Amino acid sequence: EETGYVTSDTLWDKFSELDEAPKKLVVLGGGPIGSELAQSFSRLGSNVTQIEMAERIMIKEDLEVSTFAHQALVESGVNILTSHQALRCEARDGKKYIVVKHNDSEIDIEYDELLCAVGRSARLTGYGLEDLGIETDRTIVTNEYLETLYPNIFAAGDIVGPYQFTHVAAHQGWYAAVNGLFGNLKKFKVDYRVIPWTTFIDPEVARVGLNEQEAIDKGIDYEITRFEFEELDRAITDSAAKGFIKVITPKGKDKILGVTIVSEHAGDLLAEFVLAMKHGLGLNKILGTIHSYPTWAEGNKYVAGEWKRDHAPQRVLSWLEKYHTWRRG
């Protein structure tokens, strides 16, 4: 209480009591939540310092995406300190400080409010789980049907994991409900094959499947197709032409292994690729689908067109050229 510490899950209760945004806000954590809140409070007028122990924010994203996000936050007024380790909080002479370590030196950073966004832990006590003997290991342990130790007790959402997303919780809720109602006749395993996620900074960062770094780590023989939004009419019209679409496919094939989109409305644009991956549709199918003009969604078709252009059948084109030359006489 003395040092003004607040976690992200109690954020609303804490900051809803304030008449205005805190003048000096420190955000611990450079992940999606920390980045979203740092940019938001900076735009609300706070002097925001974001502290991240790793060498860059949004460390799970590709380097170019992380760099893009870093620049977007800086342009919004956020002071980002990477490779800084938080050590302790202190109250001195009526002021609050967080002490961080950087290059073997300790640095004091004054703040009014401190927001900790370094992950969330499930609350597992106080619900009688211990009395029932339901197993917990940082989350409630369930099987692939979301059943606990007891086949009539199901669990879903962040308290189960493995993804702490609202849309995954809703996805799990469907399986838990259906298995609870009809499990004695037929059970359904939760399908986690295609999980989208979006970081709601401005511009948004949305991803599904593999990113480039993950493809490298897995030793996949892949190729990348890009489309820059500076070439999209709608993005130009909206004065929001920063960003890109990056699609990862196996060498020579249009199968979609992963997509990263950085742009306004990136989370909305990603849905088409989620659908395609879910049902095994490749870039050729997206290219052959009509997209309204001028819309942001055209970017999806254009990146598919870039892939097609790079894989044009040169021998066939050569014969067609000769054929039409002959027809012209």
Beta strands per DSSP E along 113-266: 113-116, 196-199, 204-209, 222-228, 244-250, 258-263
Instruction: Evaluate whether 282 touches 276 at the Cβ level (below 8 Å).
Output: yes
| 291-317 pLDDT, tens digit each | 999 999 999 999 999 999 999 888 888
**Residue 289 located in a structural domain:** yes
User: Do 171 and 200 share a domain, yes or no?
Assistant: no
Q: Is residue 18 part of a domain?
A: yes
Is there a domain that residue 189 lies in? no
Residue 79 sits in the same domain as residue 112:
yes
Q: Domain range spanning residue 206?
A: 196-310
80 shares its domain with 146:
no
Q: What is the pLDDT of residues 92-110, one digit of tens each?
A: 999 999 999 999 999 999 9
Through-space distance between the first and last CA atoms of the chain, rounded to whole angstroms: 88
C-alpha 162/C-alpha 193 separation (Å) is 12
- The answer on 145 and 201 residing in a single domain is no
In degrees, rounded to 5, the angle at the alpha carbon of residue 221 between the alpha carbons of residues 215 and 224 is 70
Q: Are residues 161 and 201 in the same domain?
A: no
> Is 131 inside any structural domain?
no
* 14 domain residue, yes or no: yes
Q: Is 34 part of any domain?
A: yes
Query: Based on the domain organization, do 173 and 201 belong to the same domain?
Result: no
Does 11 score more than 80 pLDDT?
no
Distance (Å, whole) CA 309 – CA 56: 35
**CA separation (Å) from 16 to 2, 12, 195?**
19, 5, 32
Average pLDDT, the chain: 93
> At 240, which CATH number?
3.30.390.30
The total number of structural domains that make up the chain: 3
- Please state the rounded mean pLDDT for residues 38-59: 96
Q: For residue 190, is it within any domain?
A: no
Q: Would residue 176 count as lying in a domain? A: yes
Same domain, 212 and 291: yes
Pairwise CA distance, residues 26 & 12, whole Å:
16
* Mean local confidence (pLDDT), 40-63: 96
